[in-house]
Amino acid sequence: MTALPVTRLTVLRAHRLTARRTMRLLQLQARTGIRLTLVCHRPHLPAALHQALRTVDYSVTADFEAARRHYYGTPIAEPPPADQPAAPVSRWLTLPTLERLVSYDSPRPCAHPCTPPPIAWRHRPPPVPLTVPTAQRVAHRLHTATAHPSLAAALTAALFTGASLQQLATARPRDYDEAAATLALHDRARYTDGCAAYPVPSWAGLFLRAAACFTRLVFGEDQELLAAPGDRGHLLCAAETARLRPPQPPTDRRKGPVGRVEWDWRERQEAERYEAIPARRARPSRR
Contact (CB, 8 A) for 98 and 260: no
Would the pTM of this model clear 0.85, i.e. be above it?
Answer: no
Contact (CB, 8 A) for 158 and 152: no
Pairing state of beta strands 176-177 and 182-185? antiparallel
- Say what the pLDDT of residue 88 is: 47
Mean pLDDT (the chain) is 85
Same domain (yes/no): 115, 179? yes
Among the ranges given (1-5, 92-96, 128-132, 254-258), the one the predictor scored with the smallest mean pLDDT: 1-5
- Say what the pLDDT of residue 87 is: 46
Same domain (yes/no): 210, 68? no
Same domain (yes/no): 141, 245? yes
10 Å CB burial of residue 143 (0-12, 13-18, 19+) is middle
> Is residue 1, in this structure, part of any structural domain at all?
no
The more confidently predicted of residues 45 and 107 is: 45
Same domain (yes/no): 46, 162? no
Q: Which pairs with CB-CB distance under 8 Å and at least 24 residues apart come from 28-31?
A: 28/1, 29/56, 30/56, 31/2
The helix/strand/coil state of 203 is helix
Q: Is the pLDDT reported for residue 5 higher than 70?
A: yes
Same domain (yes/no): 220, 115? yes
Q: Is the pLDDT reported for residue 84 higher than 80?
A: no
Q: Is the pLDDT reported for residue 205 higher than 80?
A: yes
Q: Is the pLDDT reported for residue 165 higher than 80?
A: yes
> Is residue 233, in this structure, part of any structural domain at all?
yes
- Say what the pLDDT of residue 284 is: 53
> Is residue 15, in this structure, part of any structural domain at all?
yes
pLDDT tens for residues 13-61?
Answer: 999 998 889 999 999 898 888 889 999 988 888 888 888 888 888 888 8
> Is residue 46, in this structure, part of any structural domain at all?
yes
pLDDT tens for residues 52-82?
Answer: 888 888 888 888 888 888 777 754 444 444 5
- Say what the pLDDT of residue 281 is: 52
- What's the total number of domains in the chain? 2
- Residue 124: closest CA among 161, 155, 168, 173: 161
Mean of pLDDT values over 231-249: 94
> Is residue 81, in this structure, part of any structural domain at all?
no
Q: Is the pLDDT reported for residue 211 higher than 80?
A: yes
What letter would DSSP give residue 118?
B
- Say what the pLDDT of residue 76 is: 46
Q: Confidence class of residue 247 from pLDDT cuts 50, 70 and 90?
A: very high
Q: Is the link from the previous residue into 5 a cis peptide, with omega within 30 of 0?
A: yes
Residue range(s) defining the domain that contains residue 28: 8-72
- Residue 108: closest CA among 34, 29, 26, 192: 192
